[in-house]
Amino acid sequence: MVGSFQWEGYREALLFLATGGVVAPLFHRLHVSPILGFLAAGAALGPFGLGRLAQSHEAVAAFALSDVEGVAKIAEFGLVFLLFMIGLELSWERLARMRMLVFGLGLTQVVACGAALSAIAALAGGVGTAPAILLGAALAMSSTAIVIPVLAERRRLNRAAGRASFSVLLMQDLMVAPLLFLVSFLADPGTSEHGLQSLLAFLPALAALGLLIVVGRLLLRPLFRLVAAADSTELFMAACLLVIIGSGVASAADGFSMGLGAFIAGLLLAETEFRREIEVTIEPFKGLLLGLFFVSVGAGLDLGRLLADPVPILAIAAGLIAVKAAIMFGLARAFRLEAPAAAETALLLAPGGEFAFILVTGAISGGLVPQRLGGDAMLAVTLGMFLVPALGRLGEWLNPVRRKQDVEAEFAHLAPEGDVATGRVVIVGYGRVGTLIGGMLSRHDIPFVAIDNSVTLVAEKRDAGVDIFWGNCMRREFLLRAGVAHARALVVTVEKPQAAEEIVRVAHEARADMPIVARARDATHATHLYELGATDAIPETIEASLQLAETVLVDVGVPMGYVIASIHEKRDEFRKLLQPTGEEARRKHADRASVKLKEMKKRRASLPAAPPREQREG
């Protein structure tokens, strides 16, 4: 051999992949948030876990994370991808509608919590004004990377507490850049003499950020149209990664966070026809990188220091949660959230967040915050982040789901945009046949959404005002992301038989009781579609023959009423011949009836309990 293989360079990657492949599924099976699994794995494998034993036991070194700083640099992309996905779920219009919660509740939370924590740091920590302000601002932040996944996992993002939490977190993300500028401003002794000039130097960064928005608005949609026209999954994925990382790097070069640039890119793409396909493409990257981020956070937990002197660290963690929860609850009530929703919001946002590490580390390196105090603060923040899933469960218990809850008039319009197909008919394939069906649905005031894989057709129809998206409907993830499981009905008009069969199969597996009407090439194809779960399959050859027969009968003088009746009878005869019969048909009917019964029980369980009989009679 020319040289020996150095496997140490692959150790961190292998350990992380093993964590994702073993720990996360195990916690899923135990019905515990995988976030806790990644955090615990990081604490166990990090330099303060197995890393301590690795110094004296060489065999243990193979299972310890040694290059935590290198992992943390890559893990930062988890936040970047998360903020991009958040922006993709929003739009400029919806962000403007949320201004009261974002710039009202969010900004008030940052100022109020920062001021209170700064005062406590100055009094109890014995530090000066500048270090106290920085510590207060850093600890006022909450964890976007943990709170948002916890809310999404528990399906609570669309409730009042979820919307309020998201708004505050968004404002905190927007405040990171000014706070980082504040750290560098206070750390540089020369800036005190030229404060105005230093502040004015920040204006070019704002101009560059505005230029990023303008350029993105002009170029992103044509770029994705060009890439989508190539019909290459690899090129589309490369374009998505280029936009996310490129916008993040451009934002960081302007002095802002990478996450802010990715968030803006998501906002710009949220109103395009490529939105759902981008979500499906990026989701695996986001999940893996967020998992790596949680591992890096867990690796930063110094268990030895915590066990050696736990009282001050636990006191900081408990005090931080108590102070922020109390302030957040009062602010949420002032912004007209009901008490249970305000309590859930306060508990979710009470622990510290990942941006505290960035701010406190910068303050320590700049000599503004003492090393020991900053280290204790970061340990307290890490402990609080471990508690977020548990606090989320407690908030959910305090704020149970009740009928008509979390749909207050003042907050209903701020709900995150749901699946595009919810409550509407989905037309897959919007060529000549799909366009005619869409026109008939519009004539009867039935809302629909169309999906097609032709970039030119989608662009043309979207410019004409049709709610249409570009994507590959043969992918189960795309159909689910588009909300087919909540659609009113599905119409499949694609020309390729194999594509129609796959779409029907996937849609039927996603929701067995949904009406599925499919276009079939001939009788044999229609029979196959029925077997895959189609409610109705319309063979082109048979339907064309019936239309010709109807025209001939009318032209030779047969009364229209008799003609229509006979055509309907013949169509029913064909349907009975093509549909599955016997045991298979009974099984399909039983499956659909079972699904309907389960949904009925679920809806019934969500209704409030009936009052006692004497109250009803009274």
Per-residue pLDDT tens over the stretch 559-603 = 888 888 887 777 777 777 777 654 554 455 455 545 555 555 554
Asked if residue 609 belongs to a domain, the reply is: no
Query: Mean pLDDT of all residues in the chain?
Result: 78
pLDDT at 339 exceeding the cut of 80: yes
Specify the pLDDT at position 415. Answer: 44
Asked whether the predicted pLDDT for residue 3 surpasses 60, the reply is no
Using CA atoms, how far apart are residues 353 and 381, in angstroms rounded to an integer? 7
CA pair distance 468, 448, nearest whole angstrom: 9
Q: Which ranges of 89-187 does DSSP label H, i.e. alpha helix?
A: 92-97, 99, 107-124, 129-140, 144-153, 160-187
Query: Do residues 175 and 217 both lie within one domain?
Result: yes
pLDDT interval class at 189 (50, 70, 90): low
Strand partners, 516: 490
Q: What is the pLDDT of residue 70?
A: 67
pLDDT of residue 347: 92
Is 564 within the bounds of a domain? yes
| pLDDT category of residue 464 using cuts at 50, 70 and 90 | confident
For residues 333 and 550, give the distance between their C-alpha atoms in angstroms, rounded to a whole number.
Answer: 67
What is the per-residue pLDDT for 41? 81
Q: What percent of the chain stands above pLDDT 90?
A: 9
Question: Between the CA atoms of 245, 247, 252 and 256, what dihedral angle is there, to the nearest 10 degrees?
Answer: -130
Of 54-68, 258-272, 525-539, the poorest mean pLDDT is in: 54-68
Q: Give phi and psi for 519, each to the nearest 5.
A: -85, 125
**Bigger pLDDT: 573 or 120?**
120
Q: How confident is the model at residue 524 (pLDDT cuts 50, 70, 90)?
A: confident
Those residues with Cβ within 8 angstroms of residue 503's Cβ, 6 or more apart along the chain or in another chain: 428, 473, 474, 479, 492, 494, 518
Instruction: Give domain status of residue 5, yes or no.
Output: no
Specify if 526 maps to a domain: yes
Q: Which domain holds residue 258?
A: 67-412
Highest mean pLDDT among 142-146, 303-307, 411-415, 543-547: 142-146
Is residue 616 assigned to a domain? no
Shared domain for 31 and 92, answered yes or no, is: no
Amino acid identity at 197: Q
CATH code assigned at 546: 3.40.50.720
Task: Supply the angle between the helices 144-153 and 160-187 in degrees, to the nearest 10.
Answer: 170
How large a percentage of the chain has pLDDT more than 70?
A: 79
- Rounded mean pLDDT, 241-254: 86
Query: What was the pLDDT predicted at 616?
Result: 38
> Per-residue confidence at 414, pLDDT binned at 50, 70, 90?
very low
Residues 376 and 443 in one domain: no
Q: Tell me: do 17 and 113 sit in the same domain.
A: no
More confident residue, 37 or 582: 37
Over range 307-329, report the average pLDDT.
89
Residues 206 and 327 in one domain: yes
Is the predicted pLDDT of residue 401 greater than 80, yes or no? no
Together in a domain, 34 and 84 = no
> How far is residue 495's CA from residue 434's CA, in Å, rounded to a whole number?
11
pLDDT on residue 617: 42
Nearest to 350 by CA among 310, 305, 302, 390: 390
Could you tell me if 329 and 393 lie in one domain? yes
Q: Cα separations (Å) of 613 from 403, 607, 616, 618?
A: 20, 17, 5, 8
Tens-digit pLDDT profile for residues 85-109: 877 877 666 677 777 888 888 899 9
Determine the 3-state secondary structure of 468 from DSSP.
Answer: strand
pTM (predicted TM-score): 0.69
Q: Name the band, by pLDDT with cuts 50, 70 and 90, for residue 1.
A: very low
Q: Is residue 610 part of a domain?
A: no
Q: Is residue 171 part of a domain?
A: yes
Q: Domain holding 346: CATH number?
A: 1.20.1530.20
Does residue 563 fall inside a structural domain? yes
Maximum mean pLDDT: which of 54-63, 515-524, 598-607: 515-524
What DSSP state is assigned to residue 452? E
Residue 176 has pLDDT above 80, yes or no: no
Matching residue, tokens 């989608």? 458
Which of 385, 412, 439 is the last residue before a domain boundary?
A: 412
pLDDT for residue 74: 76
Q: Which positions ≥6 away from 504 have C-beta within 8 Å? A: 492, 516, 518, 529, 532, 533, 534
- pLDDT tens-digit profile of 11-34? 777 777 777 777 777 877 777 667
Q: How many domains does the chain have?
A: 3
